[in-house]
Amino acid sequence: LTHCECCFPCGTLAKPDGRDMAYMAELLELIEAGGVPAPAPIEQRWTSGSSSALSPAASAEPGALFSWVGIIMYLPTDDVEQRRRITTAFDAYKRACEARLWPKFGAVEHWAKVEAATPEAAAIARDRLRARFGGALDAVA
């Protein structure tokens, strides 16, 4: 199983802003336009804000609402070449989400679960996380 989960704000419990549904609509467009063999269903869940400074759902706002979206691809084979092709396809799928959706929706993955395959990808992830968490990230880096 290859997977990635991101989190982004979507209003408050009293006043959801619809960004959660807009994200899913755009994710489905990305999947269809790119011919991504994404399994269904796509996981989506919601949480309230967290008081933890490094939580992707960190918020001091009472009633803050966050959406979490998980994307996956299964690795149903022991064949090394097939697993490599699936992993490569997943990496492209994740990069497309990171480039097209995450900046627009303010999404981040959990800082402790970031996997960057290249120094360039690591720099992009670091910048995205630093923009979201600021100095709090430096305490664990």
Per-residue pLDDT of the chain (141 residues; tens, 9 = 90+): 788 999 999 999 999 999 999 999 999 999 999 999 998 889 999 999 999 888 999 999 989 999 999 999 999 999 999 999 999 999 999 999 999 999 999 999 877 777 777 888 888 888 888 887 777 777 665
Tokens of 118: 């290249």
Query: What region does 75 belong to: left with phi over 0, alpha with psi -120 to 50, or beta?
Result: beta
pTM of the model: 0.86
d(CA 136, CA 86): 35
